[in-house]
């Protein structure tokens, strides 16, 4: 991670196909394309790789989350349960449709705690949205049981975990809907892009129409298409899709590299007394994008993180103080800082997160360091990094 580290001739060839046709838009201009439909090609490849019936490409992972929610009928006033550790796009997508983000504690998986989820359910809850952060997953079996008990949707945000699996199923395919991001720093990239996968024909049809101004895409005359319902523009371009067509063919190679380097680092760190690793639910297989581990307490974790940076070991993240990925720095959410008026339902019903108790999340995040696994490293560099990290951490634990 990320896929741009190994850009090569495959990506150039796919992009050149689009430039040669001159058609950068995914819809229309049939006669000019010379048979090239890159978005369709990537959707077919993605659905096949993720063992899903349908895939819909979109302009970003954020767009994918937004469209996935709308496609399943989620809207104003509905509550969506999400974790305290994620990217801000999770609550942005919920607020964008007038729904209410309900933040819930994480556990040692660094994802949604099923027991905390159950306590947060109300008669307005419509969706449970686990976010598979840093390449590993929530306890999807437990969350699915909760969804079945309360008749809720399970929407997997697998934006950081493409290629991982749970119970033999690719992440994103276990729930009712799954979302991916193909932005520049993801395991495979389109530069910018995202996607939804689902086995539900109606959800896919809704996503297809909604993401293109409500166009029904019936016939070959775009100007004559009907609009069965309101939509917006969340289309991906053919240029972006072309990059993804090359990258998805390389996904398994990227995952193999990530696993090898992850294993080298973990094998070294296992020897350090005081380090434990995030829990991977039984039946789960990571995509090995990050190696996340716990240290004994918040104070030594912060000190060791700073020492790793001072030693020139980049790509190590202390999420507890991170501006974008942990609830503690989400002042724009907690204070509802918006350029325009937000829906009254959001103002009236969003919990006051300035007073919320997320001490259970803090207990885990305060002790967590995540190390990004770069596929552009050499094996020698990984070995050297592992030795250096071990040395720094041992020194910090004294």
What's the sign of the alpha-carbon dihedral 145, 146, 148, 154? Answer: negative
Q: Give the Cα separation of 186 and 256 in Å (integer).
A: 15
Pick the catalytic residue: 126, 186, 302, 374? 186
Q: Compute φ and ψ for 388, nearest 5 degrees.
A: -70, -40
DSSP bridge partners of 370: 292, 317
Q: What are phi and psi of 54, to 5 degrees?
A: -135, 145
Indicate if 53 belongs to the active site.
Answer: no
Active site residues: 186
């Amino acid at each position: 991670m990320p896929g741009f580290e190994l850009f090569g001739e495959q990506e150039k060839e796919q992009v050149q196909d689009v430039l040669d046709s001159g058609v950068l838009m995914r819809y229309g201009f049939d006669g000019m394309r010379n048979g090239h439909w890159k978005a369709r090609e990537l959707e077919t490849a993605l659905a096949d790789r993720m063992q899903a019936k349908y895939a819909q490409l979109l302009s970003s992972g954020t767009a994918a989350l937004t469209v996935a929610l709308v496609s399943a009928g989620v809207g104003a006033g509905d509550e969506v349960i999400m974790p305290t550790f994620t990217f801000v796009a999770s609550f942005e997508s919920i607020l964008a449709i007038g729904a209410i983000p309900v933040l819930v504690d994480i556990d040692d998986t660094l994802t949604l705690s099923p027991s905390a989820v159950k306590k947060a359910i109300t008669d307005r809850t419509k969706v449970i949205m686990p976010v598979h952060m840093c390449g590993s997953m929530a306890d999807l079996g437990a969350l699915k049981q909760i969804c079945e008990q309360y008749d809720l949707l399970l929407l997997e945000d697998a934006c950081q975990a493409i290629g991982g699996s749970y119970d033999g199923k690719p992440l994103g395919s276990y729930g009712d809907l799954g979302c991916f991001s193909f932005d520049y720093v993801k395991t495979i990239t389109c530069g910018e892009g995202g996607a939804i996968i689902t086995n539900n024909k109606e959800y896919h049809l809704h996503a297809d129409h909604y993401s293109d101004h409500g166009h029904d895409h019936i016939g070959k005359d775009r100007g004559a298409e009907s609009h069965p319902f309101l939509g917006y523009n969340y289309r991906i371009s053919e240029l972006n899709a072309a990059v993804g067509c090359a990258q998805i063919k390389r996904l398994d190679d990227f995952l193999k590299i990530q696993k090898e380097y992850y294993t080298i680092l973990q094998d070294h760190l296992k020897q350090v007394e005081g380090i434990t690793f995030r829990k991977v639910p039984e039946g789960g297989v990571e995509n090995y994008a990050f190696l996340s581990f716990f240290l004994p307490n918040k104070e030594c974790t912060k000190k060791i993180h700073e020492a790793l940076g001072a030693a020139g070991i980049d790509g190590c993240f202390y999420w507890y103080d991170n501006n974008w990925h942990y609830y503690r720095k989400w002042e724009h959410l907690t204070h509802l800082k918006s350029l325009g008026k937000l829906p009254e339902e959001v103002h009236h019903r969003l919990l006051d997160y300035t007073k919320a108790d997320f001490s259970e999340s803090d207990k885990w995040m305060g002790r967590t360091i995540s190390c990004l696994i770069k596929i552009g490293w050499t094996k020698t560099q990984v070995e050297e990094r592992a030795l250096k990290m071990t040395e720094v951490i041992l020194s910090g634990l004294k």
